[in-house]
Chain A
Amino acid sequence: MALVVDSLTKQFGAVRALDGVSFTVQPGEVFGFLGANGAGKTTTMRIILDILHADAGSATWNGRPTHDLPRRTWGYLPEERGLYPRMQVLEQLVFFASLYGVPASGAADLARSWLRRFRIEDTQRRRAEELSKGNQQKVQLIAAILHDPEVLLLDEPFIGLDPVNVAIIKEALLDLRDRGKTIVFSTHQMEMVEELCQSIVIIDRGRVVLGGGLREVKRSTGRRVVRIGVSGDPALGWLAGLDGMRVTRQGQDYTELEVGVGRDPESILTAALARGEHIIRFEIADPSIEQIFVERVGRPPSEDHRLAPEPISAAPAEPTGA
């Protein structure tokens, strides 16, 4: 009873997009699918959806190959965003729902309630091209979930949204999870992963780098993080001299250190007290997913997004596998 991706391999010409990707998503959980652009996230999702065929390996949901399952099992928000530009919002939502077998009358009511929930009720009679990008994205998300699928595959659902809309979408996803839906989403925003996911997998260049429950993944490094703040001395220069510790972030209000394997985080507290510092903050925590990602992949997850966006016509030649 799970979504099992087993040893998926896919080759595009000279590029090996997937090289034995395996992971398991438990039913009813929110699963973070992490990786830099081009890591193979979109290709994996397309194979699960039977839009692409794997060269080797399999994807099953509750023991059945995903390509044998009806399409309404899945709710897919593609990475490439798009709606019919000149079609009215409600009309397209009903169109998509009817392709999944939802009767038109029920689909319209359902679509309206989702539009209301996403606070874009006034857009039903407007053409998609008249909507802001954020609102278009919300309409696309509705198109992906209107038929009440068992599994949601969302490619970057939060990208480009303002904090208010992020909160609305987040709440909706958690609500769907509480109703028993399984949610797999890819993202570059690691704080979303920390907030939402029970499990994650990180892939890089078509290979799984790390995976499992969020807590286990964080513990698996064997390192801990200490955040310490003292009054009067924001620099805390003496910390750099401590054996087995590494300063990872130097801030105004606190300094963050990575505690080496086998080192006692509390020794920092002892050292600070011995120096007579007035401690206003002391925290022992697991490393962040962002830190783990950088460590294992070698670059930050959002690096590609700092680059200028490519024009549509000059998009990569191979299928845009992320």
Chain B
Amino acid sequence: MRATIRNVLIVARREYLWRGRTRTFILATLVLMVAGLGVAAAPVIVRYVSERGGPTTVGVHLGDSHPSIDVPRALDGVLNAGSDHNADGTIRRQVSLKVVADLEAARIDVDGGRLSALLALSRGTDGELGFTLYAKGQAFEKTSTMIRQAATSIAIQDRLTRTGVPPIDQAKLFAPVSFTFRPPVDKPGTPEGPSTSEELASGYVMSFALQLFIFMAIMLYGQWVAMSVAEEKSSRVMELVLGAASPFQLLTGKVIGVGALGLTQYVLVFIPAALGMVLQDRIASLVLGVDSTSAGLPAGLSFGLLVAFGIFFVLGFALYAVLYAGAASLVSRQEDVNQIVGPLTLLSVAGYMVSSYASTGLIDISGPLLTILSFIPFLAPYLMLSRIGLGTVTPLEVLLAVAILAASIPVALWLAARVYSAGVLLYGQKPGLRTMLRAMRGA
């Protein structure tokens, strides 16, 4: 027993250190770290780039329309409604307005890019205000929608003034209304689910994102375990190793070593990315000089979901990696690895797909089919996370699924070790189910 643990750790250590030192691993990790940071910092970068050219300037040509209200001010209020404040408390305008007198000159400015857009007012023969927006390019679309909204309320105010409503009443007229959303009240006895549709949506998004991490780990690092087995076999070092360690020790050591390395890569990539995400506002205030707001966990990420993710990540990976290793021992060349692990990969993809269908409502997540499927070890890492994210599961059910998954790993290990001890001594086989069965009988 002690020798077994010792050898498992020695194999794991070799796998971890040796693979971790390869140039491929170091380069891939660095690239992923930069990519992760990039994704996390993307909003800040986008803001920085868009604000670097100074605020957008919109020209306003009043001509002879003589509106009854201050049009530039009304536009300013609408267009800069959600703007940040500078450190001194003044509004940090995203759009600045400029009254122009010469329509033709202003239109040339729009064409030349000196003005982002030009809003020209006119007064029709029926007394109604008319608006014409001159703009260049599609990027202006969001602002143009807002200008259209502003123009509508300006026109309405103008009409009200013309019918004799005093400006003070108009301010009251346009004041925001009180609006509250109330979802149906929870029936007693049902699991505690998200209470608002926003929470529901973010819980689903978060559980889905976490499933993606599990899926990627199985595809990527599971493949590494399979490759590692095939490498040893194709270089024929396997026989020397088999003289020293049992298939069980080798298999377990490999899964632990590669799994730990995969986890290391995840942590290395995600810590800077997560820090970048959490500190986004602080970074933004440093780079852009805007006032920072408080930072917190992303919406929908609860402590329970994180713990469940950790457990399903480790166990799900272990189950697939063990079977990947067993299957890979049947082929002699690394090129054949993908073919032999194909059915297992399909199973993982299926779990992920079913989970995504269920999350988007194509399959009923609380129906009996999904409930049963979510206890199958191969699918549990995906489906259970979905059910947790959507709040349609009791803690007892989650515990049961974890127990089944955990119990399936020793079975998988036994099976894989058996395939492995027979498979590694077979050379030049066509990978397939028959080979596998024949190999197991011979061992």
Contact = CB atoms under 8 A, between A and B. Distances in A.
Interface in B392-443: 421, 425-429, 438, 442-443
A149 to B, nearest CB: 10
Contacts of B236: 78, 80-82
Contacts of B428: 312-317
Contacts of A100: 244
Given A84-B235, A313-B332, A98 B243 contact: no
Interface stretch (A48-56, A167-175, A212-220): A48-56
Interface string A45-63: 0100101110000000000
Interface in A123-167: 140, 143-144
A95 interface: yes
Interface string B221-242: 0000000000010111111111
Interface string A278-317: 0000000000000000000000000000000000111111
A12 to B, nearest CB: 6
B245 interface: yes
B424 to A, nearest CB: 9
Interface residues of A, number: 41
Contacts of B442: 12-13, 319
A78 B239 contact: yes
Interface in A90-122: 95-96, 98-101
A87 B239 CA distance: 16
Nearest to A70: B3
Interface string A200-223: 000000000000000000000000
Given A13-B438, A312-B427, A317-B428, A85 B243 contact: no
B237 A53 contact: no
B239 A80 contact: yes
Interface residues of B, number: 33
Contacts of B237: 82-84
Interface in B361-407: none
A177 interface: no
Contact of A99 (B239, B244, B425): B244
Interface in B305-360: 332-333
B213 interface: no
B245 A71 contact: yes
B240 A96 contact: yes
A310 to B, nearest CB: 9
A150 to B, nearest CB: 14
Contact of B333 (A12, A81, A313): A313
Given A313-B333, A316-B428, A71 B238 contact: no
Contacts of A96: 240-241, 244
A312 B425 CA distance: 13
Contacts of A7: none
Contacts of B333: 313
Contacts of A140: 240
A299 B16 CA distance: 50
B7 interface: yes
B85 interface: no
Contacts of B98: none
Contact of A95 (B10, B22, B438): B10
A51 B425 contact: yes
Given A13-B442, A315-B428, A320-B427, A78 B240 contact: yes
A76 interface: yes
B6 interface: yes
B418 to A, nearest CB: 11
Contacts of B22: 86
Given A71-B243, A76-B243, 18 more contacts: A49-B243, A52-B443, A70-B3, A71-B3, A71-B245, A74-B243, A76-B239, A84-B235, A86-B22, A96-B240, A96-B241, A101-B3, A101-B6, A313-B332, A313-B333, A316-B427, A317-B426, A320-B425
Interface of A: 12-13, 46, 49, 51-53, 70-71, 74-87, 95-96, 98-101, 140, 143-144, 312-320
Please list the 3 inter-chain residue pairs (A to B) with the smallest Cβ-Cβ separation, ordered nearest first: A82-B236, A78-B239, A76-B243
